[in-house]
Amino acid sequence: MTVFPLPDQVPSETELARRLRAVERRERQLDQALAAVAAQREQLAAIQAEYERRREGLIARTREVEVERDRLRAERAEVVAQSLSQDRALH
């Protein structure tokens, strides 16, 4: 058990009231800080959800573009093949 020495002077009622107000003020500040952190967490969660939604949309759009690209490449290859066939037929 730790024994602390007694203060040289016992604080007055006024000093105790001042200290209590300071502690209460600090408690309010801490409550405000906690509320701000909670709000930031909620905002971050919303931002992350929006990011994931957009990311999924971009993934889907990328798939669509790749399908279209593959279709155009196949069409182009067909056109080139037909062109080569026509060139051979002329010669």
Q: Are 38 and 30 in contact (CB under 8 A)?
A: no
DSSP designation for 91: -
* pLDDT at 7 > cutoff 90: no
Query: Domain-by-domain residue ranges, the chain?
Result: 14-91
Q: Taking residues 63-75, report their average pLDDT.
A: 98
Give the CA angle between residues 7, 13, 18 to the nearest 5°: 90
Task: Identify the pLDDT of residue 57.
Answer: 98
Per-residue pLDDT band at 87 (split at 50, 70, 90): confident
Q: In this predicted model, what pLDDT tens digit does every residue of 9-59 receive, in sequence order?
A: 888 999 999 999 999 999 999 999 999 999 999 999 999 999 999 999 999
DSSP designation for 1: -
Block residue for tokens 């300071």: 22
